[in-house]
Amino acid sequence: MRETARGAQQELCLKLICFQAVREHLASAAVSIKAVLDLPTPLIQDLLPHLTVCQLDELQPELNGRGISTYPGWVKVLREIYGPHHAIDLHTEEEAKHETMRMLFTLVFYGFRNHFIIKNAANLNTPAFLWAAAKCIKHFVFITNSHNPLQSLTAERRPLLKLLEKRIRSVAISQSIDISKRKSQTALYVLHRLLDHGMVKEVVIHVQCPILLAWLLHRRGTRYVNPELDNLMNGKRAGCTSQTASASTDSVGCSPYPETRASEDQDDEGIPCKRLKLNSASVEEESGKANLTVNLQSLCHASPSANVCPWGQICCLEIRHCGSESLKVLNSALPTFFCLRSLTLHSFSTFRDVDVLDLAKALKQLSESSCSSLTNLSISVLPYTSLMEILLEASPKVISLQVEIQSVMWGPPLPSHHPRTAKSKLPELPLEKLTVKVAELQTDLHFITSVLRRSPHLTSLHIAGLRLPSGCSQGQLLTTLSEVNPCLRSLNLEDMKLSDCLPEILHLLSNCKLEELRFNDCRLLEKWSNKEESLNQLVAALKMVPCLQTLSLAQNRIARSVHVLAELFSGSSSSVKRLDLSSNFIQPAELLEFTRRLRKHRPLHRLTLDLRKNPGDRDPNMWNVALKELRLFCVVLVEGWNSTDTMVDHVSNM
């Protein structure tokens, strides 16, 4: 017996040595790609987690042709990046590959170091890796304090920039860009290439920088011309009386848009000129001899006979730090922003009501044009619930609305701009997706239900944090959904008290076609006198929903009643493919009992089971036995748990 074990161990060590040799010499004279592709399928599958990202990328097309997925290789890389306790919630080869390349490209391009980059420096710090990653990614992050990497895109990495122009669909600006400074011209030039010569239609701004926002919006879908930007672009000094202009007191002529550009055939001929101007800018500025009247059009001017430079369009705009000054710039541009399909605005503090009313006015002007294409709107954080209705009426074409509401602690609530009478008939809304997250001591449920009654085409609803006056029940909300929202396919109720609504829940499930249902942190079992019996009723109703694929009961203190949920898969009726039981204080013995019952009723499809934030370390051996059995027919998502954190234990088991 010992000899057999020793032999198996030696065989494993020899296999690992061979795998490392293949990783080191693949595509060289020693190990050809064809030799690897000729290996038996089981051996290739064992080899994948030992390959580099470039090798995985190169082998993937041929392996896919043989029916072999490189998914295990990409997941192995992600586990090394994130750490062993991070759950990888990616289910396809392309998802795992894109996430790997997206993370590594940003780290390597800007020269950031972590344990994985340091360990694999020889394989990652190469032009081949950046090229392979650039072919996969669709999102580019601008980190403007790292000047040299962006500068390289105008010089030795010019071919990489041309590839990014073809691949990148969205850009994120993570730091402020002072467009009045010569040293910022490189970032503006790369932005221009991606936005106007490339395929970018989505822009995410993480900083409060009104003049940069004006530059981004200028001629990219709106006819508005910002006065301060106009002064900069025409080489005039701005009269700086606002925060928008404060950064522009030393403004220069830096028109971000060229009048001319070379054809694709001529583009390479202009590279030396571009390199000279971009590389010399910072040197001239440091020496105090910078020509402050030179504008950015020269950066894209390759020859006197060049064609006119194109202008891109921004279809999706997200401002993650939207202050009053940025909102003023946006509000001025909105009435003619006809190509805008999606708008997301987030403020770290609550928006002022006057700013929201100005936004509603601009949205109303936009909606009155037949050219308007805005269908997705997301605003956070609103100071009053009533502002949601004002925004809805200002944007009658919106089919997806997401709002967060946090009541301010000062001043009276904003009155309705035109109070309704009991007999007034409200127009039907085209809403298909609605998300309302509330942080109020009390919310008028009638306001929510009235919006639902006006939205017969609603397919997705997410409500979080709804608090009702004492004596009121959330049952009315569930009843309304049963009566007037027959198209509902996704329902997500979060941080709400539903323990007294079991009859309404059962009625809703008997008349719905839900594909996704989430009751997260809804205290479902809190007032059930017989928890197992009530949970059995819920399971029986869930089994009758024919299209249900995703079910989440996270943060409901199910704990020792978890074994009842295994009955969800008894018979052949359940279509659930994903079950979220995270944060339910499920202990090892309870998970083992759930596992044994689930083994008797194996799901029809491979089940993704989320068990994160449950105290598996109470009995690690028993927990691991249960996980081992579950993994035979489930994809199990787990992360580490520290039971020494008694407060977490207490909250999870209340």
- ∠ Cα 340 203 208 (to 5°): 105
The topology under which CATH files domain 524-654 is 3.80.10
pLDDT attached to residue 11: 58
Whether 102 shows a pLDDT value over 60: the answer reads: yes
The answer to whether the Cα torsion of 343, 346, 347, 352 is positive or negative is positive
Residues whose CB falls within 8 Å of the CB of residue 210, separated by 6 or more in sequence, listed in order: 243, 244, 325, 326, 328, 329
Confidence band, pLDDT 50/70/90 cuts, at residue 587: very high
**54, amino acid identity:** C
Mean pLDDT of all residues in 259-276 = 38
Q: What is the pLDDT of residues 452-497, one digit of tens each?
A: 999 999 999 999 999 988 878 899 999 999 999 999 999 999 999 9
Whether 259 shows a pLDDT value over 60: the answer reads: no
Whether 272 shows a pLDDT value over 60: the answer reads: no
Whether 296 shows a pLDDT value over 70: the answer reads: no
Q: Which of 269, 256, 273, 75 is nearest to 181 (CA)?
A: 256
What pTM value is reported for the model?
0.85
Measured between alpha carbons, how far is residue 548 from residues 509, 535, 573, 597 in Å?
A: 10, 17, 10, 21
Residues whose CB falls within 8 Å of the CB of residue 1, separated by 6 or more in sequence, listed in order: none
429 within 8 A of 455, measured Cβ to Cβ: yes
Whether 439 shows a pLDDT value over 60: the answer reads: yes
Pairwise CA distance, residues 40 & 413, whole Å: 70
SS (H, E, C) 343-397: EEEECCCCCCHHHHHHHHHHHHHHHCCCCCCCCEEEEEEECCCHHHHHHHHHCCC
Per-residue buried b or exposed e for 326-348, using 16+ beta carbons within 10 Å of the residue's own CB: bbbbbbbbbbbbbbbebbbbbbe
Q: Which of 482, 567, 474 is nearest to 523 (CA)?
A: 474
Backbone angle region of 465, left / alpha / beta, with phi > 0 → left and psi within -120 to 50 → alpha: left
pLDDT attached to residue 442: 82
Confidence band, pLDDT 50/70/90 cuts, at residue 644: low
Measured between alpha carbons, how far is residue 382 from residues 349, 357, 436 in Å?
A: 9, 11, 11
Residue extents of the structural domains in the chain: 1-137, 149-203+227-315, 431-517, 524-654
Q: What is the pLDDT of residues 217-250, one digit of tens each?
A: 998 999 999 888 888 777 654 333 333 333 332 3
Mean pLDDT of all residues in 276-302 = 45
**40, amino acid identity:** P
Output phi, psi for 548, to 5 deg.
-65, 120
Pairwise CA distance, residues 99 & 199, whole Å: 20
**267, amino acid identity:** D
Whether 257 shows a pLDDT value over 80: the answer reads: no
pLDDT attached to residue 32: 83
Confidence band, pLDDT 50/70/90 cuts, at residue 2: low
Mean pLDDT of all residues in 172-183 = 87
pLDDT attached to residue 91: 86
Q: How many residues does the chain have?
A: 654
Pairwise CA distance, residues 245 & 87, whole Å: 46
Q: What is the pLDDT of residues 551-586, one digit of tens each?
A: 999 999 999 999 999 999 987 667 899 999 999 999
Q: Which of 420-434, 613-627, 637-651 is the most confident on average?
A: 613-627
